[in-house]
Each structure stands twice: as structure tokens, then as C-alpha cells.
Amino acid sequence: MTDQTSGSLLRLANPAVFNRLADRVIGPFAVLTLLLFAWGLYGAFFVAPPDYQQGETIRIMFIHVPAAWMAMFVYAGMSASALGTLIWRHPMADVALKCAAPLGAGFTLLCLVTGSLWGKPMWGTWWEWDARMTSVLVMFLIYIGVIALQQAIEEPNRAARAVAILTLVGAVNLPIIKFSVDWWSTLHQPASVFRIDGPTIHGSMLGPLFIMGIAFLMLYITLLMLAMRAEVMNRRAERLELLAAEAE
Amino acid sequence: MAGQYVGFIAGSYAAAILVLGAMIVGAVLSYRGAKARLARAEALRDAEKSGR
């Protein structure tokens, strides 16, 4: 990381700077997200042809795959925030982790549900305990665990530390999810987009898939900023309420 | 062939609308709730300051 990048990140970690930036960009980001979804869905239904093997069920891929990407991306971001909490003890890192967890859980749930709805017509089963599906289910349970732990501990600093540790322990699951299709013989197909020898999907499907991926990413960034803005306000309100209670 | 799988495709997109919709509504409501709570807390602080 360059000095300039780390300097910008440090400035953003200041709640006042973050609030100003969030207030400016949330609206435009929401509009951009909407446009990207419209473009991506048009591509998914009117540009991408039916697959020669999967037929029209390929349309499910345009929701399932971006949701799976986001499920892992959000968790990776939470792990970075956990390091920020444990090493630098920065409160904005904890705010980011706390706000990202429900969003990541949502993406993971969507990935599991759409995967199941694709699996029934293609594999003849709603669910199979294969390595990829099981490891994604484990990630969903870790997300739920992180959210539950946040709610269970009242003292904020202790809660932040405990959640950061649980998040980092759960990060072990990320490479397992990614490489499960290579390490074990799974019903789930191997990677077809992020491969060393390039994607195996035709461009007419890959284009809309990437646009949907960017739409999901923009939705996440917009919702994360909104949730973090709310959390910063909540924490400030909490401090003021505490001061008022002490003054009485 | 499309008709055979239309329920699964529609189900997937309905699930996406439900889950993503819940995420959007949740984020907006929590933002509005936090804004109102902060406004109340600041009003209380200002009232206390002016009362002293």
C-alpha cells in the first residue's frame, strides 16, 4: 500500500470525514446501482442466450453467482476490519464490521436459496452435503454467529474484540470455499470465471454476469455506507444520552 | 424448455427481490431511526444547556 493510499484510508477512518463523504455519495451511488441492475437484468434476459446444457435455468446464474461473490467479498472485508479493530483498535473498523455482517448474511442466504432453486431442476436435488455447499452454509452460520455475538455482549469494547476474533477464526473458511471444488470431488461445478487460464463462459453470458456483479457490489457499498452512517449517529446519540443520564 | 423451468427462475428472482429488498428497507429504516434518535439526544442536550 502506498503512503498516499494509506493516508486517504486513515482520513476516511475519521467519523466526521466519513460522514461528510457518505452524505455526498450515497444518493449518486443509489442511482448508479439502480442503473447497473437495469442494464445487468436486460443483459441477463435479452442478451445472454440459453445455455446448451442448462437451457433457461442459466438465468438463475445472474443472481446466484454475484451473490456468491459478494458473500465471500463481504467476509474478506470483515476480516480486514477485524484486523483494524484488534491491531489499531480503530472504532470505525468495528463500525464497518458490525454493519457489514447482516449484509453479508443476506448475500449468503440469497446464494444458498438460488443455488438450491437451480440444483433441483439440474441435479435433481434441492441440497447435497458436498464440500462447496456445506462450506457456504458454514459461512452463513458464522455470519449469524457474528451478528448474535454483537448483540450478546453489552460492553462495546469487549463486543468489538470478541466479534473481531470470531470473524478472523471464520476467515479460515474462505479458502476452503474457494478451493473446495478443486480439493474434493463435488457435485458443484469447478470455477468457470476466475481461473488462471481464463473464463470458460461465453462472452455473451460473461458480460451481463460482470455487470450484475458490479451492480451487487455497488448495492453493497451503498447499503454499507448508509448502515455505517446510521451506526455512527447511534453511537453519538448513545454518548449524549449517557451524558444526560449522568447529569441528572 | 423455458416453461418447464419458469417456476425455478421466477422463484430465484422473487428470492432476490425479497432478500435484497429486506436489506435495503432495513438499512433505510435504521438510518432514519438513528437520525431521529440523534436529533432527540441533541435536543435534550441543548434544552439542558439552556436550562442551566
Residue A29 has pLDDT above 80, yes or no: yes
pTM of the complete model: 0.91
What single-letter DSSP state applies at residue A51?
Answer: B
Residue A112 has pLDDT above 80, yes or no: yes
- The residue among A248 and A133 whose pLDDT is bigger is A133
Taking CB atoms and an 8 Å limit, are A117 and B11 in contact across chains? Answer: yes
Confidence band for A5, pLDDT divided at 50, 70 and 90: low
Residue A15 has pLDDT above 70, yes or no: yes
Confidence band for A140, pLDDT divided at 50, 70 and 90: very high
Instruction: Choose from A113, A123, A125 for mutation: most chain B CBs within 10 A.
Output: A113
Among A56, A237, A243, beta carbon nearest to B2: A56
pLDDT at A91: 83
Residue of A nearest to B39 (CA): A237
As a three-state string, the secondary structure of A113-168 is: HHHHHHHHHHHCCCCCCCHHHHHHHHHHHHHHHHHHHHHHCCCHHHHHHHHHHHHH
The full set of domain ranges for chain A reads 26-47+57-189+203-234
- Among residues of chain A, what percentage have pLDDT more than 90? 67
pLDDT digits (tens, 9 = 90+) for B5-32: 899 999 999 999 999 999 999 999 999 9
Q: How far is A57 from chain B (nearest CA, A)?
A: 6
- The residue among B51 and A227 whose pLDDT is bigger is A227
The ipTM is 0.90
pLDDT at A10: 59
Among A110, A226, A247, beta carbon nearest to B16: A110
Residue A89 has pLDDT above 70, yes or no: yes
Q: Where are the beta strands (DSSP E) in chain A?
A: none
Return residues 1-52 of B near A (CB < 8 Å): 1-2, 4-6, 8-9, 11-13, 15-16, 19-20, 22-24, 26-28, 30-31, 33-35, 37-38, 40-42, 44-45, 48
- Residue A55, helix vs strand vs coil: strand
Across chain A, mean pLDDT equals: 90
Alpha-carbon span A183 to A71, nearest angstrom: 21
